[in-house]
């Protein structure tokens, strides 16, 4: 029987040629560490890992489910390490994405938290108008910080990520006041109030301003009285018209012992700390609708932001529920501000 020999060399040559022509599998970019893993505008991050490539990659932050991307400024790059600065962002837990400049390469990702500012120290804790005060804190950002006292802007002399120096505004009355800081990410207030002495400014008349149904309510505060225990300062803000409006608030504040700032929330005062009533006339018949906070069920807070002599300045936010009469089931009071004389 005659055996036919096959020459396998051409086939092996084709297989070898195809193998050499096939592109090598690209290494997947992997982020091993981001340091720091939280920060704010101006924070410089060191990103280490592998597969970043030799060209400058794109690095950006993105909120979950959002399309908007916040690009970081890449200042140094290598295949295993990148340095980048946060230039724009929003507050919260975001995803940091690194897209190598390699054809077909997928992006690598890691978690990064963008923080709002925090204030830890005022030094000194008081002074005359125009005196310099130093703030110590966290995540102030790389732009000049905004400092507010009783809604008045203070002149900021210097600021960096952890400190700022400002002058006490001449437009704020003597008293104890909450110090608020703001940057493009968020806002915060110092736990300790700033005591101003020697100011020649005074507070305006007792008044309450708020938004209800996104409409502004401004009314003179009246019927001021203290509760039996001497700590709850109750007041009504009333406005005539059809409907007439009445907003009543109980402020559980001890002038002698509580310091500014002080925030009261659900569970810290009994009864109804806040209620709102509308009286209206239709065809000569009078009707009323009443909403109130129900302790333990609805969110509310009253914050004392300052006091000057025996007068209080504060803010209010609350969700109210319909108690009686026709009307919406829920109302929200937002941006509420008040000045009252107990």
The 3-state DSSP class for residue 15 equals: helix
pTM for the structure as a whole: 0.84
Burial of 267 per CB tally in 10 Å (0-12, 13-18, 19+): exposed
pLDDT along the chain (342 residues), means of 10: 55 52 64 98 97 96 95 97 97 97 92 97 97 97 95 96 97 97 96 96 91 88 64 83 89 86 79 87 89 84 92 93 91 92 84
Query: Which pLDDT value is given to residue 227?
Result: 55
CA dihedral (7, 11, 17, 19) positive or negative? negative
Contacts of 315 (CB under 8 A, 6+ apart): 302, 303, 305, 335, 336, 337, 338
Query: Which pLDDT value is given to residue 155?
Result: 97
Edge-to-edge strand list for the sheet holding 58-62: 30-35, 44-50, 81-86, 70-77, 58-62, 92-99, 108-114, 38-39
Query: Which pLDDT value is given to residue 22?
Result: 47
């Amino acid at each position: 029987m005659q055996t036919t020999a096959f020459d396998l060399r051409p086939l092996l040559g084709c297989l070898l040629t195809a193998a050499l022509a096939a592109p090598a599998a690209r290494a997947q970019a992997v982020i091993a560490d981001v340091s720091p893993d939280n920060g704010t505008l101006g924070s410089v991050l060191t990103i280490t890992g592998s597969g970043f490539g030799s060209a400058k990659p794109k690095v950006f932050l993105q909120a979950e489910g959002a399309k908007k991307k916040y690009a970081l400024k890449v200042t140094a790059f290598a295949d295993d390490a990148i340095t980048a600065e946060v230039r724009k962002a929003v507050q919260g837990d975001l995803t940091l994405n690194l897209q190598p400049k390699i054809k077909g390469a997928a992006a690598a990702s890691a978690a990064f938290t963008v923080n709002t500012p925090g204030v830890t120290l005022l030094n000194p804790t008081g002074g005359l108008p125009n005196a310099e005060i130093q703030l110590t804190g966290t995540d102030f950002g790389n732009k000049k910080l905004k400092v507010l006292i009783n809604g008045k802007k203070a002149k900021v002399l210097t600021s960096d990520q952890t400190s700022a120096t400002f002058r006490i505004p001449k437009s704020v009355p003597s008293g104890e006041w909450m110090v608020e800081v703001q940057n493009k990410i968020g806002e915060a207030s110092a736990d300790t109030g700033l005591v101003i002495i020697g100011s020649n400014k005074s507070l305006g008349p007792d008044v309450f301003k708020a938004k209800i149904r996104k409409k502004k309510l401004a009314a003179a505060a009246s019927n001021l009285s203290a509760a039996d225990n001497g700590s709850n300062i109750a007041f009504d803000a009333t406005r005539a018209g059809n409907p007439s409006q009445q907003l009543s608030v109980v402020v559980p504040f001890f002038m002698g012992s509580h310091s500014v700032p002080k925030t009261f929330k659900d569970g810290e005062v009994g009864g109804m700390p806040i209620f709102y009533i509308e009286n209206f006339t239709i065809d000569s018949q009078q009707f009323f609708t009443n909403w109130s906070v129900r302790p333990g069920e609805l969110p509310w807070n009253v914050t004392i932001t300052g006091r000057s002599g025996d007068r209080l300045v504060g803010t209010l936010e609350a969700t109210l529920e319909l108690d009686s009469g026709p009307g919406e089931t829920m109302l929200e009071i937002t941006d509420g501000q008040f000045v009252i004389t107990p």
